Amino acid sequence: MIATALEAEVADYVERFAEDRDENAKRLVVRNGRARERKITIGSGTLPLRAPRVNDKRVDDETGERRRLSSKILPAYARRSPNVNDVLPVLYLRGLSTGDFRPALEQLLGEDAAGLSPSTISRLCKDWEAEHERFRTRSLRFHQYAYWFVDAVHVHVQVRLGEDDRLCLLVVIGVREDGTKELLAVEDGYPRAPSRGRP
């Protein structure tokens, strides 16, 4: 399926620029064989793949550099699908230590699960923490919100949050004036009990 999708992506790219020609009326964007085989880890395992290549002779007017196809399905040099990255934080929250990731993922994805050493997982953990910090400290002054939803969400994952069953995720969702919902904040904490006699 991935190979077929890549072929379709390349065919669409070449067709979109079929009218772009040089002074000899030759196409500037054409197919150019296949790249070297590389192993890609996806949700169902690890497989060998040779991605189709494109020869794009067009030049960017601003930078002066050659234009090139940037695949949304399989980015250049990628060794694993973005979907695999999505499952890593879930395994981390469920209590897997960095040393447990590779054997766990080998069971899920095969022995050739690529780029998932303990040092890689440690680096990813730091990346997640940095990403969360950027999310926490971003400015919200560029949008106006008609109203907010503020609630406490109890989750089943207790390993990383602690064993206290009162601990939960405090969540704020803002609704913009155009109706768009946006996640504004997620923090761990304790919901405040309602005052007596009040809902």
pLDDT band at 174 (very low <50, low <70, confident <90, very high): very high
Structural domain count of the chain? 3
20-67 pLDDT per residue, tens: 998 889 999 999 888 888 877 665 567 788 888 899 999 888 888 888
Report helix, strand or coil for 105.
Answer: helix
Q: Mark whether 13 and 48 lie in a shared domain.
A: yes
**Domain-located, residue 198:** no
pLDDT band at 199 (very low <50, low <70, confident <90, very high): very low
Choose the final residue of a domain: 51, 79, 107: 79
Q: Mark whether 14 and 75 lie in a shared domain.
A: yes
What are the phi and psi torsion angles at 56 (to 5°)?
-110, 110
pLDDT on residue 198: 46
Q: Mark whether 149 and 132 lie in a shared domain.
A: no
70-115 pLDDT per residue, tens: 777 676 666 666 556 666 666 666 666 666 666 666 655 555 554 5
Q: Mark whether 128 and 156 lie in a shared domain.
A: no
Choose the final residue of a domain: 137, 160, 177: 137
pLDDT on residue 175: 93
Structural domain boundaries, residue 111 = 82-137
Q: Mark whether 157 and 125 lie in a shared domain.
A: no
115 Cβ neighbours under 8 A, 6+ residues apart: 41, 79, 80
Q: Mark whether 105 and 150 lie in a shared domain.
A: no
Instruction: Please say if the pLDDT value at position 188 is more than 70.
Output: yes
Q: Mark whether 1 and 66 lie in a shared domain.
A: yes
**Domain-located, residue 197:** no
**Domain-located, residue 17:** yes
Q: Mark whether 10 and 54 lie in a shared domain.
A: yes
Q: Mark whether 61 and 106 lie in a shared domain.
A: no
Q: Mark whether 6 and 70 lie in a shared domain.
A: yes
2-20 pLDDT per residue, tens: 777 788 888 889 988 999 9
Q: What span, in angstroms and rounded, lies between the C-alpha atoms of 152 and 84? A: 29
Quote the tokens at residue 191.
């919901």
pTM, 2 dp? 0.44
pLDDT on residue 189: 82
For every residue of 149-181, DSSP letters joined together read EEEEE--S--TTT-S-TT-EEEEEEEEETTS-E
Average pLDDT of span 149-155: 85
CA angle 9/10/16 to nearest 5° reads 90
